[in-house]
Amino acid sequence: MCGSGGNSKTFLIPSNQTFLLQPLTFQGPCKSPSVQVKFDGKIVAPINKAAWSESKLFRWVSFKEIIGLTVNGSGTIHGRGSSFWKQLHFQRCNDLKIIGITSFNSPRNHISISECKRVQLTKIKLVAPEDSPNTDGINISGSSDVDVYDTFIGTGDDCVAINNGSVNINITRMNCGPGHGISVGSLGRDGEESIVENVQVTNCTFFRTDNGVRIKTWPNGKGYARNILFKDLTFRESKNPIIIDQNYVDKGRLDVEESAVAISNVTFTDIRGTSQRNEIIKIDCSEVTYCKDIVLDKIDIATVDGNKPVVECSNVYGKSINTNDANGCFED
């Protein structure tokens, strides 16, 4: 398919059939200007690591350097939770579209988008058990102009993780939960220079997620996360609805902080719903860089048990508008 030229080419996975699939890579570039994988059937992974033909590979199905790729259909991908690989990986696939597919029980990330430009993901469903570790729904890194809309993601980790090198990311009309919410980061691990900018998360609903929307960076990182908008969000019995955490560390790793990823121009607005915890907003910023131009606007989150909501902030410059208990949140 990839080697034949001419008009658009289609690779069909037929409906009403199930295929046991060992790890493989679809390697481009292709001669055709556009390629479609029509995904109407079902593929399943080997039942465990012993049945895995390539034990050193940590990706199940990869697409690399295929321009104009569309993956669509009503089919399903079943990872069978076998413990160690990433399910669908797309690398350097510009003008990529992923439409309509369903992914179950990936042992790691369901969909990874790496070094891609102009990406659309819509009408997809990604599902894993609530207690399954590291099962991100969509993991984005080194990519730009990514649109995610009209999706359902319920996993044991982030619904979407926006990582280093992500620029112009738009997420809208997503139902997220269970899981860890939508995250920018973590950024700056082991002193890495990280860049994320121009992110919009709008018109999304979070149901019983462990976190809501958050930005997380490691101490001693470099770079910046800026121009980020969280707007028109609804939380239903979520924990930790709004978080900026610049002290994101593993146990035992806390060192003296000498630098930090700079966070600026972040707005949380038109946010409502209920929280399982009293602390509805936590903004814990670095003493080195502070967080700058942070806006809390029209936030109305009640606690499930009726206790008074708590807002906790440190090292923040910004302003609060129509947000209860947040007026003392910011530095002068």
Residues recognised as catalytic: 180
- Dihedral sign, Cα of residue 274, residue 280, residue 281, residue 282: negative
Q: Which two tokens stand for residue 193?
A: 């220079």
DSSP 124: -
Residue 142 neighbours by CB under 8 Å, 6+ apart: 114, 115, 116, 163, 164, 165, 166
What is the Cα–Cα distance from 232 to 282, expressed in whole angstroms? 19
Q: Which two tokens stand for residue 253?
A: 């790793």
What is the Cα–Cα distance from 280 to 180, expressed in whole angstroms? 15
Q: Verify cis geometry, omega within 30 degrees of 0, for the bond prior to 186.
A: yes
Q: Which two tokens stand for residue 248?
A: 């994101």
Which residue, 197, 204, 92, is CA-closest to 148? 204
Calculate ∠ Cα 231-225-247, nearest 5°: 100
DSSP 271: E
Helix, strand or coil for residue 190?
Answer: helix
Which residue, 164, 147, 157, is CA-closest to 96? 147
DSSP 57: -
